[in-house]
Amino acid sequence: MLYQLYETQRALLSPFAEFASASSKLYSHPLSPFTHTPGADRVAAGFDLMHRLSKEYEKPQFGITTVKVGDLDIAVQEQVAVDKPFCQLRRFKRFTDDAGLLTRMKSQPTVLVVAPLSGHHATLLRDTVKALLRDHKVYVTDWVDARMVPLDAGPFHLDDYVEYVQDFIRHIGPHVHVISVCQPTVPVFAAISLMASRGEQTPRTMTMMGGPIDARKSPTAVNNLAMNKSYEWFENNVIYRVPPNYPGAGRRVYPGFLQHTGFVAMNPDRHLSSHYDYFLDLVRGDDESVEAHRRFYDEYNAVLDMPAEYYLDTIKTVFQDFALVNGTWKVRGELVRPQDIKTTALLTIEGELDDISGAGQTRVAHELCTGIPKGEQPHYTVEGAGHYGIFSGKRWREKVYPMVSRFIAQHETATADARALATT
């Protein structure tokens, strides 16, 4: 019922949002006589803010059409490499007419970025992808909003997530370097562990960034909620069925609007202050600050529904049973054994001020990977960085990305050298 009430509210607000947008333009357009009335700038700013607070936010686009490789701007085309019901594997293919540069790009490492399925769309990693494209061939998992997946596609469990990651790795090939950001560190860890246990070739490297490998270490407010409420509480209080106006009508989900409410509730003062500053920037005509606010909230306010089975599995497996670190996690009856990983180097990255995945939660992966030589397991704590700072923004571009790029290049070269020795 709550989901239906939300949809009714959204439908009622839609005309108001359009009215507010039109009114803002009426008081700000240079050809409108209302623009020249006293206080028009404040009226226009007020209506603009009302529009943004009441509008519906659609899934953003990656919008990556060019990238600088060396000194040249290279065209980028977004392609769907693998299309599954709950996820599309997207490839960002680079094109150039420069024969020398094309040869160099073909020899560059291939990276699979596993985006979180935790409320926001994969486009949240736009900055991550753009940086990686300078020196790598890049794939990214683009998870589908569960309300858009018809019921006949079946359920989607955490085990399915693990198998999706394995399928994507097999599609790209064992030469791939895998980067998991936040939530997927756990299922990616399981996917590679199971491949190693079966004797399959595993990726050259795995980079785990700000993920809850062991949520008991430095628990955050997010961790505490998941650990202190019972499984039944989550099932009874946050799971709803998709209304009939979507392709996934009847599917049980953790709705995006509830997740968004939780995001905002974590820092309400910060969001209130941000919106007030936006109003003042509009009045002052500070276009740069206005556009920065819009870009951030266009992404932040665009959320997706998560399949109920996957969400509840994650709560129980990761935040209540701690099955991975306790050595009790089974995927389709097969025990997850990180100690079986031997040929995949491991890099863990944490933000010093991360309020989503606390200090030590990701680093604990090194204690589980006893089969990887210690010299192949670096760790990096990013000073002054919060959760988003480790994969987006200035700290990502200037501190984290160079570290990740060097780590990948080092093991790309080491693997090539090992192959050469094996054939001599």
Per-residue confidence (pLDDT) for residue 265, from 0 to 100: 82
Q: pLDDT tens across 50-78, in order?
A: 999 999 999 999 999 999 988 889 999 99
Mean pLDDT for the chain overall: 93
Burial of 234 (C-beta count, 10 Å sphere; 0-12/13-18/19+): buried
Do the Cβ atoms of 189 and 202 come closer than 8 Å?
Answer: no
Q: pLDDT tens across 116-160, in order?
A: 998 899 999 999 999 999 999 999 999 999 999 999 999 999 999
Judged against a pLDDT cut of 70, whether residue 421 lies above it is answered with no
Per-residue confidence (pLDDT) for residue 420, from 0 to 100: 43
Supply the angle between the helices 268-284 and 40-54 in degrees, to the nearest 10: 140
Q: Where are the domains of the chain?
A: 2-56+256-300, 67-234+306-422
Query: What is Dmax (Cα atoms) for the chain?
Result: 83
Instruction: Tell me which residue of 416, 390, 415 sits closest to 403, measured CA to CA.
Output: 390
Rounded Cα–Cα distance for residues 78 and 93 (Å): 6
Per-residue confidence (pLDDT) for residue 415, from 0 to 100: 56
Per-residue confidence (pLDDT) for residue 221, from 0 to 100: 82
CA dist 102 → 17, 96, 97, 133, 396 (Å): 48, 6, 7, 13, 27
User: Is residue 384 left, alpha or beta, with left meaning phi > 0 and alpha meaning psi from -120 to 50?
Assistant: left
Q: pLDDT tens across 85-106, in order?
A: 999 999 999 999 989 999 999 9
Amino acid at 51: H
Do the Cβ atoms of 156 and 144 come closer than 8 Å?
Answer: no
- Please tell me the least confidently modeled range out of 2-11, 148-157, 403-412: 2-11
Cβ atoms within 10 Å of 272's Cβ, excluding its own: 11
pLDDT band for 222, please (50, 70, 90 cuts): confident
| CATH 3.40.50.1820 for the 67-234+306-422 domain, yes or no | yes
Rounded Cα–Cα distance for residues 49 and 28 (Å): 13
Do the Cβ atoms of 161 and 310 come closer than 8 Å?
Answer: yes
Judged against a pLDDT cut of 70, whether residue 414 lies above it is answered with no
Rounded Cα–Cα distance for residues 29 and 35 (Å): 6
Rounded Cα–Cα distance for residues 245 and 201 (Å): 44
Do the Cβ atoms of 86 and 61 come closer than 8 Å?
Answer: no
Rounded Cα–Cα distance for residues 162 and 229 (Å): 25
Rounded Cα–Cα distance for residues 23 and 43 (Å): 9
pTM of the full predicted structure?
A: 0.91
CA dist 95 → 131, 136, 286, 332 (Å): 16, 13, 37, 41
